[in-house]
Structure 1
Amino acid sequence: MQRIAFANALRGIAAICVVIAHYILMFNYLRGEFGGLPALTENPFPSMMISVFNPLDNLNMGAFGVALFFLISGLVIPISVASLQDTQLAKTKFVIGRLFRIWPTYIVGLLITLGALEVAAGYMGYTTSYTAPQVLMQMSLFRDWFGSSTPLDGVVWTLEVEIKFYLVVLLCWSMIGRGKLFPLFALGIATIMAANLYPGNIYQTGPLAAVVYPIKYIFFMLIGVAFNYHFRGLLSLERLFAISAGMLCVFGYSCLTEGWQIEVIVSYCAAFALFTAFYLLAQDWSGGPVFDFLANISYPLYACHGAFGIVGMRIMIDQGISEIPALIIQTAVTILLSWLIHKAIENPTHILGKKIARSIDGPKNLRHVPL
């Protein structure tokens, strides 16, 4: 896949925002109470530190990072679609590439999460309650379509939305490849209908909720697709501004109708603003060595950091390590683990997926297939 410099660098920013949201803000709010581990007697981090890492009261750092990930996917995925348009078995190649890109790393991240939950349970002297079928459903990334069982980590829902986005891409394959606006318009209508005909679905469960729930997020990702159309020269800048602003308004209307917290809506809008600013003003920004490194490990970092870090910090504090040193140690260990997963799992499986996709045409057509 053609790499868009600023989008790759923003992956690193998005991952760090999510880690900050969980390791500092959420850990402080819960006072470390997680996975059966008891709450601390007082907030672990000083208020000044919280202000530094969350300077805007109406901004949710976790939602901000997730929104950036969604926009980046919307921008870059259609590049694969356009590149594969004239190849044989194009959709099959796309699916293979996405399969090897997403699932192996997530499965490893989930196993690390489950390991952390087991450590917490053992530390407190109880047993975990999740079942093997529940784990398998979650590993499939179609958990919500297999009975909407309770998620075992805090990141699976975003990957489930990502998979649904791929299904929309496959359904609208030729239109997205040719830069047609119909998919954006159709999903906009679906988003408004879902918000009005099934309000409050964020609190619902069941088959209908599983279908309705991801629609607004997929529509938000399609804002990134609109930017892709402009990037490929298929949409003027004026039309991009008008379309993306209209899409953001539809998304915001849906969120308000469903009763979202204002700070989450603001966070998605802020992510859109940052994404747009970089697209217009710093498209060639690669982030330098630090953000380039964070971008490279962003997916394994996102997949493995949650329970692993919170449980680790809470136990370290319980064993007498001060809160801030525990945070520093845990963050360093999590980054190291993410780098190891990137090297041992993510990169090899991604390369394997591309090789398998290239081999589909046979030896006469072994040209590079961007995935």
Structure 2
Amino acid sequence: MSKSKDEYFNFVHVLRGLASLIVVWSHLVGWWLPVNQATSNLQGYWENLIVRPFHLYQNGGHLGVLIFFLISGYIVAHVSLKENSSRFLLKRFFRIFPALFIVLIISYIIATFSLRTNLSIPLGNNATELKDYLYSLFLLDYPLGTPSALAVTWTLFVEILFYLLTAIFIKSTKKDPLKATWYFIIAINIIIILSSINPIINRIAHYAVYLFFVLLGRIIYLCEKKYIPLFESIILGIVSLFCYILFYDYLYPNSLFNESSHIIYTIIMAIIVFFIFKIFYNKKYKITTFLGDISYSLYLIHLPVGTLVLNILHKNGIPFKYSFLISCTICFIVSFLIYKFIEKPSQKIAHKLINISIFKNK
């Protein structure tokens, strides 16, 4: 592996790990504490040192999500230049759904156990019957408006929309990346403009608006690798960011510039953090590699497993600082097991399947 490729993967890995940790913190501390009418000095320090000074939305959790979106746009741009549409979608399918399937099974078991033992249902699980888990598995809960079994999967729905557009425009991207990126922008605009036609399109539009932000990652990659000239990249970035802000304010009125939410500050911070790590981080450490590897599984599993552990320990009078440490440790262990025994084998299966003739066709 060349030095440049090493640096590329190091930069991506550390940001993945960082983003997942921010989301875990925001949920297991910033969300769990008020729901359970509890307090902790840990949250106080976090708010005083990080959240308030930088005006972060959702206790910083939204920052982690936006970083994930930038990473996705960056990586998918890299991958799409090497694959045809069928190979691309096959790899993405095996990247997303096997781990999601396992986590939803775990979530169902935990929810059932919690009901039978008088514990609170884990945060982010609003499922009331088995079919809600099936809808959540295929991410149909968002366009259909059914209860979600795993709240964090709304970002996966955004990812799937981006994958579909990438597959549609994959040939155009190889021929003319600049023109293809404009196609992305036009397509997203059309989805949002048509949002008033029916409830399903309206729900899709509420997630499709984030695609403008994902596009920023794509634009950064294509500019860096000189597929698109700098000036055109700047124009694309400005247009994409403008559309994101414009349509976000349209779909979520009075939230973007609201003093109590600070979403606009979080958007700016996500871009700054992305560029800082991209420009200055090129080292490889075992801890960042580990966190990057398990980031997807950790992102999925931390709500059902993490809140179950917190609920049990809280019920037994264990102080939150110890409960949180134990909860995170168990989440890391479970995430590693899912990564090792589900994610990695699934990716190997995908690589074997792409050798089948149907996926080799351009």
TM-score, scaled relative to structure 2? 0.85
1:19 corresponds in structure 2 to 24
2:128 corresponds in structure 1 to 130
1:114 corresponds in structure 2 to 108
2:222·2:228 contact (CA, 8 Å) conserved in 1?
yes
2:356 corresponds in structure 1 to 359
Relative to 1, partners in 2 of residues 1:137 and 1:233: Cα closer, same or farther, differing over 3 Å? same
Q: Which of 14, 31, 39 does residue 9 from structure 1 map onto?
A: 14
How far is 1:57 from its partner? Answer: 5.7
User: Given the alignment of the two structures, is residue 143 of structure 1 paired with residue 137 of structure 2, yes or no?
Assistant: no
2:188·2:211 contact (CA, 8 Å) conserved in 1?
no
2:301 corresponds in structure 1 to 304
Structure 2 counterpart SS, 1:151: coil
1:190·1:215 contact (CA, 8 Å) conserved in 2?
no
Q: Which of 150, 164, 180 does residue 177 from structure 2 map onto?
A: 180
Q: Deviations over 1:169-193 (max 9, x none)?
A: 1111112233433444344456567
2:177·2:228 contact (CA, 8 Å) conserved in 1?
no
1:64 corresponds in structure 2 to 63
Structure 1 counterpart SS, 2:177: coil
User: Given the alignment of the two structures, is residue 264 of structure 1 paired with residue 263 of structure 2, yes or no?
Assistant: yes
User: Given the alignment of the two structures, is residue 43 of structure 1 paired with residue 39 of structure 2, yes or no?
Assistant: yes
Paired with 1:307 and 1:126, the residues of 2 have a C-alpha distance of 11
Q: Deviations over 1:207-255 (max 9, x none)?
A: 1223322221112111111112113321233433343233223212222
How far is 1:101 from its partner? Answer: 1.0
Q: Deviations over 1:35-88 (max 9, x none)?
A: xxxxx4x4244523543463536202111111111111111112222112xxxx
RMSD of aligned residue pairs (Cα, Å):
2.8
1:227 corresponds in structure 2 to 220
* Aligned ranges 1:183-332 → 2 under 5 Å: 183-189=180-186, 206-257=199-250, 258-259=252-253, 260-262=255-257, 263-279=262-278, 281-282=279-280, 285-286=282-283, 288-332=285-329
How far is 1:164 from its partner? Answer: 0.9
Structure 1 counterpart SS, 2:146: coil
Runs of 5+ unmatched residues, structure 2 = none
1:101 corresponds in structure 2 to 95
Structure 2 counterpart SS, 1:249: helix
1:81 corresponds in structure 2 to 80
1:25·1:50 contact (CA, 8 Å) conserved in 2?
no
Paired with 2:104 and 2:283, the residues of 1 have a C-alpha distance of 30
1:317·1:323 contact (CA, 8 Å) conserved in 2?
yes
1:143·1:149 contact (CA, 8 Å) conserved in 2?
yes
Structure 2 counterpart SS, 1:117: helix
Relative to 1, partners in 2 of residues 1:116 and 1:217: Cα closer, same or farther, differing over 3 Å? same
Q: Deviations over 1:303-348 (max 9, x none)?
A: 1111321232122011021110000000011001101111110111
1:64·1:268 contact (CA, 8 Å) conserved in 2?
yes
Relative to 1, partners in 2 of residues 1:308 and 1:65: Cα closer, same or farther, differing over 3 Å? same
Kindly indicate which of the two structures has a greater share of residues assigned to helix: 2
1:184·1:219 contact (CA, 8 Å) conserved in 2?
no
1:313·1:327 contact (CA, 8 Å) conserved in 2?
yes
Q: Which of 346, 349, 352 does residue 349 from structure 1 map onto?
A: 346
Q: Quick check: 352-361 or 313-322, which moved more?
A: 352-361
**Number of matched residues?**
342
Paired with 2:104 and 2:186, the residues of 1 have a C-alpha distance of 35
Paired with 1:54 and 1:10, the residues of 2 have a C-alpha distance of 19
2:127·2:133 contact (CA, 8 Å) conserved in 1?
no
Paired with 2:46 and 2:276, the residues of 1 have a C-alpha distance of 28
How far is 1:285 from its partner? Answer: 1.8
Query: Per chain length, whose mean CA-contact separation is higher, i.e. which structure has more relative contact order (CA < 8 Å, sep 6+)?
Result: 1
Runs of 5+ unmatched residues, structure 1 = 33-39, 85-89, 366-371
Structure 2 counterpart SS, 1:56: helix
Structure 1 counterpart SS, 2:90: helix
